[in-house]
Amino acid sequence: MKQRPQVMRAFKWQSAARKSGMAREAVNLRDRDLFAHAWCHAEHWQAAKDILNREAKK
């Protein structure tokens, strides 16, 4: 429940790709795209900001 939808989609896609026997190169390309999408998502930057703020308060 803590994972965001874009992250869960990536996890599910990786599992399905492995089960289907998809070629490693195709998996790597899609993984890169999914990673970039999750990394660039506004929720990622908010989570990073929250972590940095918590660390600064220590």
Dihedral angle sign, alpha carbons of residues 21, 22, 25, 27: negative
Q: What is the DSSP letter of 45?
A: H
Predicted confidence band of residue 11 (pLDDT cuts 50, 70, 90):
confident
For residue 25, what pLDDT is reported? Answer: 92
Residue 1's pLDDT band (boundaries 50, 70, 90)?
A: low
Q: Band of the pLDDT at 17, cuts 50, 70, 90?
A: very high
- Give the model's pLDDT for residue 45: 85
Give the tokens for residue 56: 């600064």
Q: Which domain, by its residues, includes 44?
A: 5-57
How many domains in the chain?
Answer: 1
pTM: 0.57
Cα angle value 25/13/38 (rounded, 5°): 90
